[in-house]
């Protein structure tokens, strides 16, 4: 009999187009394992844990009930499993995040001490982080030139399903129990991912450039949870896109995900703090009043309908429309003068597609602290943004039913209704015009201090 090889599933919970799994299958019987690492599992919100639990159950079915689930530090779990099954090799898809890189170094050292090895193959991205460089070898801090260089590098064509001889152990470990969640989450299977892909590519992608900013229609792909956990690989989508306006715009959105992964890989400190250190000293509000305003923001009771709709969608679906993510982030940072990291943490607590690189760098883009950032003086007006991108109020009425009887004009600013705002809906907690001016004053003071 050939020697078994352990395949360590991580953010690649699929059986199609899987180079790392193909290498394992060509090497001998495959022992599939997923390790519930407390450093990651314990920090994940209920929505992400529920989605992962379902995805692992589906993957277990796909491996003919051979999936092993370890619980604990990966270096310990994998060493013990290799000893149990007589494997000398562990194969996995490479990870490029700060924690994943450090964890893989620990695992490689632990396996090497026993004469084994960890082989990392492929990437969760079309172009692995660290690959796209300037002509002088430097790194990109601005998206547009990164996007051009990224397209020139290109990516491999997707492969099909992998034929695998699975192997396992008698005690396959306890499956994770999905926590209770009130959010309406997408089905976490590879088949469900492809159903959504086919729906999107059949028509919606061709109008993506026109409809992606309208939160009131189903005009985006909503594939981010599947990309997060590798139920899909981005090259599987890129292979289906032509160069017409809609597909090209969607291609650029996939590239934003890869840009932020590249930034995090090269500048790990940007995961938790300002990429631009000169912005780290921005004056912020703290104390009980600030905490109450944060709670009003988090609970969708700011008195600004588009903000409240977005925050209620986040809690209700574990997801928020991208345009609205920018609006609510700007409101927290520049109307409420709160630290962007508070908002980023709240998002990660609820987002089913919560991805450290995309989430935290997206927040920094709005806050003006990151790469390719919107200038700090660019402050999103929640009323005009609502009027422009949700003109009929369809999105607002879906998530803020207290306003369903208002006209298309006043639904964006209920305080302008002749009879007054509905009693059940709160008055605005701040005056946007005044807080915009205060945000600009704080920015000017910061510049003066650093001059």
Whether 219 and 308 map to the same domain: the answer is no
Q: Do the domain assignments include residue 65?
A: yes
Whether 402 and 315 map to the same domain: the answer is yes
What is the reported pTM?
0.95
Check which CATH number belongs to the domain holding 90 and give it. 3.40.50.620
- The number of domains in the chain is 3
CB atoms closer than 10 angstroms to residue 271: 18
Whether 290 and 247 map to the same domain: the answer is no
Contacts of residue 347, defined as CB under 8 A and 6 or more positions apart, other chains included, come to 314, 320, 325, 354, 359, 363
Whether 339 and 228 map to the same domain: the answer is no
Q: Do the domain assignments include residue 138?
A: no
Q: Do the domain assignments include residue 445?
A: yes
Asked if residue 107 lies in contact with residue 82, where contact means CB atoms within 8 angstroms, the answer is no
Please say which residue of 78, 106, 122 terminates a domain: 122
Running along the chain, 451 residues long, what does each successive block of 10 average in pLDDT?
A: 92 97 96 97 94 98 97 97 96 97 97 94 97 95 97 96 95 92 96 98 97 97 98 98 98 98 96 91 96 98 98 98 98 98 97 97 95 83 98 98 96 94 95 97 91 71
Whether 260 and 283 map to the same domain: the answer is no
With CA atoms as reference, report the closest residue to 196 among 172, 223, 216: 223
CB atoms closer than 10 angstroms to residue 360: 26
**Bridge-partner residues for 121, per DSSP?**
93
Please say which residue of 99, 122, 145 terminates a domain: 122
Q: Do the domain assignments include residue 235?
A: yes
Is residue 35 within a helix (H) or strand (E), and if so which, with residue range?
Answer: strand 30-36
pLDDT of residue 377: 80
Phi-psi region of 337 (alpha: psi -120 to 50; beta: other; left: phi over 0): left
Whether 322 and 284 map to the same domain: the answer is yes
d(CA 413, CA 387): 9
Q: Do the domain assignments include residue 166?
A: no
Asked if residue 361 lies in contact with residue 274, where contact means CB atoms within 8 angstroms, the answer is no
With CA atoms as reference, report the closest residue to 314 among 304, 325, 323, 303: 325
Please say which residue of 246, 266, 286 terminates a domain: 266
Q: Which domain holds residue 340?
A: 277-450
Check which CATH number belongs to the domain holding 255 and give it. 1.25.40.80
CA 82 to chain centre: 32
Check which CATH number belongs to the domain holding 423 and give it. 1.10.579.10
Whether 31 and 9 map to the same domain: the answer is yes
pLDDT of residue 236: 98
Q: Do the domain assignments include residue 239?
A: yes
Q: Do the domain assignments include residue 173?
A: no
pLDDT of residue 374: 74
Whether 325 and 441 map to the same domain: the answer is yes
Whether 204 and 297 map to the same domain: the answer is no
Q: Do the domain assignments include residue 169?
A: no
CB atoms closer than 10 angstroms to residue 283: 13
Whether 98 and 216 map to the same domain: the answer is no
d(CA 370, CA 392): 33
With CA atoms as reference, report the closest residue to 88 among 118, 121, 122: 118
Whether 231 and 346 map to the same domain: the answer is no
The two most distant CA atoms of the chain are separated, in Å, by 82
- Lookup: tokens for 407: 């006209």
Whether 288 and 397 map to the same domain: the answer is yes
d(CA 404, CA 411): 8
Contacts of residue 286, defined as CB under 8 A and 6 or more positions apart, other chains included, come to none
């Amino acid at each position: 009999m050939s020697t078994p090889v352990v395949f360590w599933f991580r953010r690649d919970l699929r059986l199609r187009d899987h180079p790392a799994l193909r290498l394992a299958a060509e090497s001998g019987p495959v022992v599939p394992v997923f390790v519930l690492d407390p450093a990651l599992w314990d920090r994940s919100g209920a929505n992400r844990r529920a989605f992962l639990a379902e995805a692992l159950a589906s993957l277990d079915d796909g491996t003919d009930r051979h999936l092993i689930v370890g619980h604990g530090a990966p270096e310990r779990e994998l060493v013990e499993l290799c000893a149990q099954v007589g494997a000398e090799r562990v194969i996995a898809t490479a990870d490029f995040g700060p924690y994943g890189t450090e964890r893989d170094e620990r695992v490689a050292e632990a396996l090497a001490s026993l004469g084994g090895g960890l082989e990392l193959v492929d990437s969760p991205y079309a172009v692995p982080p660290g690959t796209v460089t300037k002509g002088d070898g430097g790194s990109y801090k601005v998206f547009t030139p990164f996007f051009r260089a990224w397209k020139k590098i290109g990516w491999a064509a997707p492969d099909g399903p992998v034929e695998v001889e699975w192997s396992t152990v008698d005690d396959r470990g306890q499956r994770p129990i999905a926590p209770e969640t009130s959010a309406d989450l997408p089905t976490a299977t590879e088949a469900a991912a492809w159903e959504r892909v086919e729906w999107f590519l059949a028509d919606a992608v061709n109008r993506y450039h026109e409809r992606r900013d309208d939160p009131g229609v189903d005009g985006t792909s909503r594939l981010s949870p599947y990309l997060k956990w590798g139920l899909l690989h981005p090259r599987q989508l890129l292979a289906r896109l032509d160069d017409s306006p809609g597909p090209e715009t969607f291609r650029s959105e996939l590239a934003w995900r890869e840009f932020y992964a590249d930034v995090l890989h090269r500048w790990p400190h940007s995961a938790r703090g300002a990429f631009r250190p000169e912005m780290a000293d921005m004056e912020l509000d703290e104390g009980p009043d600030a905490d109450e305003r944060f709670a009003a923001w988090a609970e969708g009771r700011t008195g600004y309908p588009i903000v409240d709709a977005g925050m209620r969608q986040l809690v209700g679906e574990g997801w928020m429309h991208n345009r609205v993510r920018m609006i609510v982030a700007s409101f927290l940072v520049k109307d409420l003068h709160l630290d962007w990291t508070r908002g980023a943490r709240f998002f990660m607590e609820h987002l089913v597609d919560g991805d450290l690189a995309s989430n935290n760098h997206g927040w920094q883009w709005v806050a003006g602290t990151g790469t390719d950032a919107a200038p700090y003086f660019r402050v999103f007006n929640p009323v005009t943004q609502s009027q422009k991108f949700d003109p009929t109020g369809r999105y607002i009425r879906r998530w803020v039913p207290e306003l369903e009887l208002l006209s298309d004009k006043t639904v964006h600013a209920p305080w302008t209704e002749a009879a007054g705002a509905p009693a059940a809906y709160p008055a605005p907690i701040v005056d946007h015009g005044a807080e915009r001016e205060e945000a600009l004053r704080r920015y000017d003071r910061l510049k003066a201090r650093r001059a």
